[in-house]
Structure 1
Amino acid sequence: MRTVTVEKQPLRAGVLMPTRDLVVAWSLIAVIAALAWVVTAGQARGMGNGPGTMGMALPLFLLLWLAMTAAMMLPSVAPVALTWGHGIARQSSGVARAVRTAEFLGGYLLVWTAVGLLAYGGLVLSGDLVDRDPQAGKWIGVAAFALAGLYQLGPLKYVCLRHCRSPMTQLMRYAGFRPPLRDLRVGAHHGGYCVGCCWALMVVLVPLGVMNVAAMAGIAVVIFLEKLWRRGPLLARVTGVAFLALAVLAPFQDWLLPGLTPTGVTM
């Protein structure tokens, strides 16, 4: 008797829902992500790049953080949200399915908004340190790249990445949750795994620049491929090694630290 080994593949949206519903749902999420990119890029163009929060108060920062998170994360989380709203939590009404999907995404983004509070505190601290001593930016950059690289290569990254790539078992368990706010809770729970998977990638925006649109786009591509490409775990390891290399180069290459270099200062 031959033994057939079946490789686990990342979740594919569309298995549990009609093609027309899939097209409509994907189109709406794509529009939301595109609008978020437009808002983020427009604001970045007006602000430039630099250390700290660049004068942003917390409410404005959180609004931009939410837009940035939606732009970077929605393409990779869309398959999970659509499968939940249109498949596992199936309803006869198209409106009900749309509401479930929207509530899932709301819970997901709520978790990332909470992360934005921590990010704001970290940027305030790093900005103060650079204001006091511009040379401190080099070592903050080294720490950020090294932390991101080590986490990318560590075990917790792969626990969270495995969930994000193959969440079906967890989603089936969520189906037993009771109202109220079941879909919001499910989105928040999945968002926690996503934070565990992606926070280290977001940390490198401290040295590269929080409003660096090119860096955001590059990280968004890495996040998408890690979760949905069959070689995603290998990509995560390669990215980790690359970040460690950048940590070694950062003290000697100022161009790697635009987010930690005050205007007109050469470190």
Structure 2
Amino acid sequence: MFRDRASLSAPMRPGNLLPARTMTVAWSLMLLPALLAWLVVVEQADGMEMEPGTMGLDLPLFLLLWVIMMIAMMFPSLAPVAITWARAIGRQSSGTARAARITQFAGGYLIAWAVFGLCVYGSLIATGDLVDGRPEAGRWIGAGAFLLAGLHQFSPLKNICLRHCRSPVDQLVRHADYRPGARDLRVGAHHGLYCVGCCWGLMIVLIPLGTMNIAAMAGLATVIFIEKLWRLGPVFSTVVGVVFLVLAALAPFQSWLLPGLQHPGPSMQPMT
């Protein structure tokens, strides 16, 4: 049986802890790319106006920017899971090999989010075309996005995926016996799918708030971090769901809540 299983399931005693250098490398591989990604996203957003649709981006460029956004928003909350995996592989690999395996883990995770990015791109095309033809539809699209996000916060899928994201060790133990070929990529993709299941509702609110809305991205990244890492994360998730439901009720009458569904220029008028 592969020894990673024992490494994952062993209690965190001093003798089981990774060397400080290994931990530093593991944390750096997650947090440094997140910081760089935030710099890229902020720079990119500075030259773009929020508007409905894909903001003129074709699919390859959108997916590249989407993946960079996911690195910025998701890697801080992913870091503890990656460190858990690094602990499992720490005694079986050299420093270079550990870095490569953690990188593969993160790459598999991003593949899951890239696939979801395809769905987001399709949704942006559809909503952009609809708002171009009927500008007043934006308020109902926005209300629907907030409503879906709010309902998802209370759904069984959210609870199952959030439990996994908060305590992924059992799943990582199952993967420890995979054959070495692409094992780390598969583990990362598997965890990424759970993360998408946990957070897709949060991500769709970027449609009404604006895909390149830096304030919204930072707020959502904070929500994700708190949900996954704070001991009262599930309670906090419920509160966020209530907030989204309130926003869904307000969106048809408050156009300022929907910057991502308005063309530059005169804002949508409140419904009468």
Give TM-score, length-normalised by structure 1.
0.92
In percent, how many aligned pairs have the same letter?
63
> Shift of the alpha carbon at 1:146?
0.1
Distance 1:90 1:118 in 2: 39
Distance 1:210 1:183 in 2: 30
Q: What is the aligned-residue RMSD (CA, Å)?
A: 1.5
> Shift of the alpha carbon at 1:252?
0.9
Aligned to 1:250: 251
Distance 1:28 1:144 in 2: 34
Aligned to 2:79: 78
2:227 aligned with 1:226, yes or no? yes
The AA in structure 2 aligned to 1:193 is Y
> Shift of the alpha carbon at 1:17?
1.8
Task: Map 1:77-226 onto structure 2 (within 5 A).
Answer: 77-87=78-88, 90-226=91-227
Distance 2:90 2:110 in 1: 19
Distance 1:261 1:170 in 2: 43
> Shift of the alpha carbon at 1:19?
2.4
Preserved CA contact (<8 Å) 1:17 1:87: no
The number of residues matched between the two structures is 255
Aligned to 2:242: 241
The AA in structure 2 aligned to 1:75 is P
* CA pair 118-89 structure 1, distance change in 2 beyond 3 A: farther
Distance 1:92 1:138 in 2: 54
> Shift of the alpha carbon at 1:90?
4.1
> Shift of the alpha carbon at 1:81?
1.3
Q: Which 5+ residue runs of structure 2 have no aligned equivalent?
A: 1-11
Q: Secondary structure at the match of 1:98?
A: helix
> Shift of the alpha carbon at 1:264?
1.2
Preserved CA contact (<8 Å) 1:226 1:235: yes
CA deviation profile, 1:91-134 (whole Å, cap 9, x unmatched): 24111111111100000001101111111000000000000011
CA deviation profile, 1:34-86 (whole Å, cap 9, x unmatched): 11001111111101211110111111101100100000000001111121133
Aligned to 1:28: 29
Aligned to 2:260: 259
Q: Which 5+ residue runs of structure 1 have no aligned equivalent?
A: 1-11
Preserved CA contact (<8 Å) 2:26 2:82: no
Preserved CA contact (<8 Å) 2:29 2:99: no
> Shift of the alpha carbon at 1:237?
0.4
Distance 1:106 1:228 in 2: 22
Distance 1:129 1:90 in 2: 55
Distance 2:176 2:93 in 1: 16
Distance 1:89 1:106 in 2: 19
> Shift of the alpha carbon at 1:20?
2.5
Preserved CA contact (<8 Å) 2:145 2:208: yes
> Shift of the alpha carbon at 1:18?
2.1
> Shift of the alpha carbon at 1:179?
2.5
Q: Secondary structure at the match of 1:123?
A: helix
* CA pair 244-112 structure 1, distance change in 2 beyond 3 A: same
Aligned to 1:46: 47
Distance 1:127 1:16 in 2: 51
Larger CA deviation: 128-137 vs 84-93:
84-93
Aligned to 1:6: none
Aligned to 1:4: none
> Shift of the alpha carbon at 1:265?
3.2
Distance 1:91 1:239 in 2: 42
Distance 1:90 1:231 in 2: 33
